[in-house]
A and B are shown apart, each in its own frame.
Chain A
Amino acid sequence: MAARTGSTDLAFPPNWWARAAWLLFGVYVFYAASHLEFTPARFAVGLEHGAKFVSRLFPPDFKRWELLVKGMVESLQIAVVASALGVLISAPLALFAARNLMPVWASWPARAIMVLCRTFHPVIVAILFVKAVGFGALAGILALTVASIGFLGKLMTEAIEEISLKQVEAVRATGAPFLSVVSYAVVPQVFSRFVGFISYETDANLRNSTMVGIVGAGGIGGTLFAAFQRFDYDFVCAIVLTIIVLIMAGEILTMRIKRVFKV
């Protein structure tokens, strides 16, 4: 599909397929925007509503702090327990899924489980678990555990697949049993990356644990949603500020943890 010009060898031959694809993409963006009634007029009206809403957020109202603290503590617990369960399940699962260490019959089922765990957003999984085990923190823990297995499993699998097999070969050559090969030749190579993944996933779970409450799976999300519905915007502001503080505290904590493990 090269363009015909006077010269036979162009330094940068135009790629007409790519140009056509970009054009098509641009056309589709306009079509989709018009279809969804995304108009400047509506946007302007929306900004006005937004300004009114923001003005009602302040000053934040911390009078119902007991409710706030109870919800936040529950969210934190959901995040920590779900992360711990997620690590416990996904680490061995990742070992099974790693194609450089395991035969196909082991790696494919393990990969299938991880893909299944990643298929749905945690909130959708939370709805399923609320139906299954009822309202409360248990549903949230289970939902976030599923999400953790999906993501940690995938990251850990990739880390294991990137290790140096020379080190594995040397340990195997000593006649070490498989579990010792794993603990001496595989774990040392992936450990620091695993600590990074786990701290990242705990961080994500902390954020998601404030969300699953919206569908009744425990934590601060339920309180937040109720406050929204009752137009208690000042209380909403208090909750949101607390969440921000919690997430930032989590960030600092993970930095400390990484330093302890010398990652």
Chain B
Amino acid sequence: MEPVSTEKAPAARVEERRAPALVLRGLSKEYVAGTPVLRGIDLEFAPRGITAIIGPSGTGKSTLIRCINRLVEPTSGEVLFEGKDLVKLSRGELRSARRRIGMVFQEYNLVERLTVMENLLCGRLGYVSPFKAWLRRYPPRDIGRAFDLLETVGLSAHAQARADSLSGGQRQRVGIARAMMQEPRLLLADEPTSSLDPKTSVEIMALMETLSEMHGFPVIINIHNVELARRFADRVIGMTGGHVVYDGSPEALTEAHLKQIYGGQDWLD
């Protein structure tokens, strides 16, 4: 496949919109040889919209999402993103691919002793030389973008605050802003609301939805809260035991499906 470039004929651009943004083929992961956590996942993700992955703890959701940007090395399979198989990339090529994949974490994973501004600029580290980054010499455009994003997520007043002085909801906003600094073509979110209260959870989901629509990138979210998944996702993927057992619209997700995904039924009553 050809790498996707922004300079293309209109016809090609239409084609591009239809082509999936991300394709997983036969993706498997064994942390211990012989006990696979992911068993041959085949999925395609459209260039727009929110996909929620639900499933019981320990079923490989986090592994799946980390296999996409190779924070976890897949044992076998392909991850096709922007025309390249990420699994085959060298370390340098992988770094340039990661620059376009934003990631949001359950426990925010901000560098706690750095300021909010410094955490945001972490999103540009893939573009700035280590020496310039160390001296905090970022292009003015990056710094301008950081201030704009802080305004978008409502944290303009906290630019110089240390990340560990913020509340959970504020930290996750910084986490999302950091991912947005990368100008992502894909956003991965690993249980972004699991450490937050219900109201903040909804606000965080809505923020990601808005940004995804505004900038036109797909979002893949691991999520435990089925109601939130139903409310925000355009597509729900149910996983259990390393397999995909449901893949469809949130409206079509029935109690029978949930029973199949999570097992048992007492908790549904």
- Enumerate chain A interface residues (CB-CB to B < 8 A): 164, 166-167, 169-177, 179-181, 183-185, 188-189, 191-192
Contact = CB atoms under 8 A, between A and B. Distances in A.
Contact of A189 (B113, B123, B134): B113
A180 B110 CA distance: 15
B104 to A, nearest CB: 9
Residue among A174, A175, A180 with most chain B CB within 10 A = A174
B207 interface: no
Interface of B: 69, 71, 94-103, 105, 107, 109-114, 118, 122-126, 128, 130-131, 133-134, 175, 178, 182
Contacts of B122: 170-171, 174, 176, 184
- Give chain A's interface secondary structure class: helix
A192 B112 CA distance: 13
A179 B102 CA distance: 20
B182 A174 contact: yes
Contact of B134 (A174, A183, A185): A183
Contact of A174 (B110, B114, B118, B125): B125
B126 A176 contact: yes
Contacts of B109: 166-167, 169-170
A180 B125 contact: yes
B111 A167 contact: yes
Given A180-B133, A183-B130, A184-B122, A175 B95 contact: yes
Contacts of A188: 111-114
A185 B128 CA distance: 15
A175 B91 CA distance: 10
Identify the 7 closest CB pairs spanning chains A and B, nearest first: A175-B126, A176-B125, A175-B98, A179-B130, A175-B99, A170-B109, A188-B113
Contacts of B94: 175
Contacts of A191: 113
A177 B99 contact: no
29 contacts: A166-B105, A166-B109, A167-B111, A169-B71, A170-B109, A170-B110, A170-B111, A170-B122, A173-B101, A174-B98, A174-B123, A175-B96, A175-B98, A175-B125, A175-B126, A175-B182, A176-B122, A177-B95, A177-B125, A180-B128, A180-B130, A183-B134, A184-B114, A184-B133, A188-B111, A188-B112, A188-B113, A188-B114, A191-B113
B118 A184 contact: yes
Nearest to B91: A178
A110 to B, nearest CB: 21
